[in-house]
Amino acid sequence: MPQAPRRLVLALVAGALSLSLFVPVGSVSAQPRVELPDFSELVERVGPAVVNIRVSEKVRGGVSINGIPEEMLEQFRRFGVPVPNQRRGAPRGGDDDDGPMRKGVGSGFILSSDGYVMTNAHVVGSADEVIVTLTDKRELKAKIIGSDQRSDVAVVKIEATGLPVVKIGDSSKAKVGEWVMAIGSPFGLENTVTAGIISAKQRDTGDLLPLIQTDVAINPGNSGGPLVNLKGEVIGINSQIYSQSGGYMGISFSIPIDEAMRVADQLRAGGRVVRGFLGVLPDDLSKEVAESLKLPKAAGAVVRQVTEGSPADKGGVEGGDVITKVDGKPVEKAADLRRLIAAVKPGQKATLQVWRRGAFKDLVITIGEDERSKRATNADPDAGDKSPNPAATLGLRLGDLSDAQRKEAKVKAGVRVESASGVAAKAGLREGDIILSVDNVEVSTVKQFQAQVAKADKGKAPLNLVVKRDDMVSFVLIKPSR
């Protein structure tokens, strides 16, 4: 390089350095200084109220897929672990009370000093034994107070007093981008702390609840543990991850604590969750359809079908209506309608704003009760049952199929399983199954089912049920109680 240009370059560099030394103080202080949070104080404050939960359950009714129990497969599916496709949807048969034990691990957090603990429903399932381990290493047996599969929230109770408790926050005030922390027992490693930020809110990955998405490292065993903000408040329950390998891949989901506490309060009060029922088949509204209907914006739930005799039918809802509000709360999509209706107390009136033939119209509907909420999830169906109810002795609550349901399921006869517990659950039956026949006799109504079961000789062979689940038909054997 020639001498003159080299001197010019050096002069320019020196000038830039001299300018950087004389930046006004005010301009530096105007830029806020961002520091990474220190979670150590939060861990000391919240950690003692986080517990490890171990469950054990006798695997009854054989295996489901390639020797893997159905209950374990459900855990795999929730955490994204690939499972075999062979006969994945089929109910399993048999009732082997001497089978192997299923063991599982999860997390939870203490709601009250007298021992109420919140966790996920999929953590406790229908466990025969639940053991809660506190941070002081005490191990206490827990009783399942209530478990709600649709929200994936459960409450268990341990006999202890003076326990440390968490502080409940307001998940509606959580913001995308804010720091959060999780405490739990991934892979059984107790008191493990991970941190990240809220990535999104209102994710429609749950049945009823809009979930909080984070990038906090969550793995199997973290389920049921708290999601904590920088104020030390619990704003969610860690519940799911998105994964193609079974391990953490940067996306995890938590149940908003506002919704979870509503469920927990009902579980503590009565062991079950009561939800409202409208009786429509809703669908999302596309932009093209909204424009064709001359709606102001593409928001609302299109009514594809109205169930005959339902609250919606009685209240004047019509197919093709677009429901835009429930009691003044906006309905952006079908999932919003389901959640808002579920939150209405059965018997209470709700005002629906619908868009019909180019104009808004208000309809006042008396909300019914969701059939799926009419049983206590922790109750023994045989306990206290004085009436001769053959289905109840099997742990079944059944419902007749409407013409629309038969058409949708593509069956000519059958009864729908509304809930299954006891020997029915052990045999693999679950909500939504359709029982087509009992001991080779076709059944079209619950009354026919009851009559056929009553004829069975309880001391001999088990009942042979033909059951349809989705598009698969299977045989299920049930041994009635003697």
Q: What burial letters (b/e) apply to 242-254, b meaning 16+ CB within 10 Å?
A: ebeeeebeebbbb
Question: Which residues does 33 contact at the CB level (< 8 Å), separation at least 6?
Answer: none
How many other C-beta atoms lie within 10 A of the C-beta of residue 329? 12
SS (H, E, C) the chain: CCHHHHHHHHHHHHHHHHHHCCCCHHHHHCCCCCCCCCCHHHHHHHHHHEEEEEEEEECCCCCCECCECHHHHHHHHHCCCCCCCCCCCCCCCCCCCCCCEEEEEEEEEECCCCCEEEECHHHHCCCCEEEEECCCCCEEEEEEEEEECCCCEEEEEECCCCCCCCEECCHHHCCCCCEEEEEECHHHCCCEEEEEEEEEEEECCCCCCCEEEECCCCCCCCCCCEEEECCCEEEEEEEEECCCCCCCCCCEEEEEHHHHHHHHHHHHHHCCCCCEECCEEEEECCHHHHHHCCCCCCCCEEEEEECCCCHHHHHCCCCCCEEEEECCEECCCHHHHHHHHHCCCCCCEEEEEEEECCEEEEEEEECEECHHHCCCCCCCCCCCCCCCCHHHHCCEEEEECCHHHHHHHCCCCCEEEEEECHHHHHHCCCCCCEEEEECCEECCCHHHHHHHHHHCCCCCCCEEEEEEECCEEEEEEECCCC
> How many residues would you count in the chain?
482
223 is catalytic: yes
- In Å, what is the CA distance from 229 to each residue of 42, 182, 197, 201, 260? 9, 9, 9, 14, 16
Q: Which one of 107, 147, 171, 223 is the catalytic residue?
A: 223
- The active-site residue, picked from 95, 148, 151, 152, is 152
Query: Which one from 64, 122, 147, 171 is the annotated catalytic residue?
Result: 122
98 is catalytic: no
β-pairing, 349-356 vs 359-366, is antiparallel
To the query of whether residue 215 is one of the catalytic residues in this protein, the response is no
Q: Decide if 66 contacts 448 (C-beta within 8 A).
A: no
- Annotated catalytic residues are 122, 152, 223
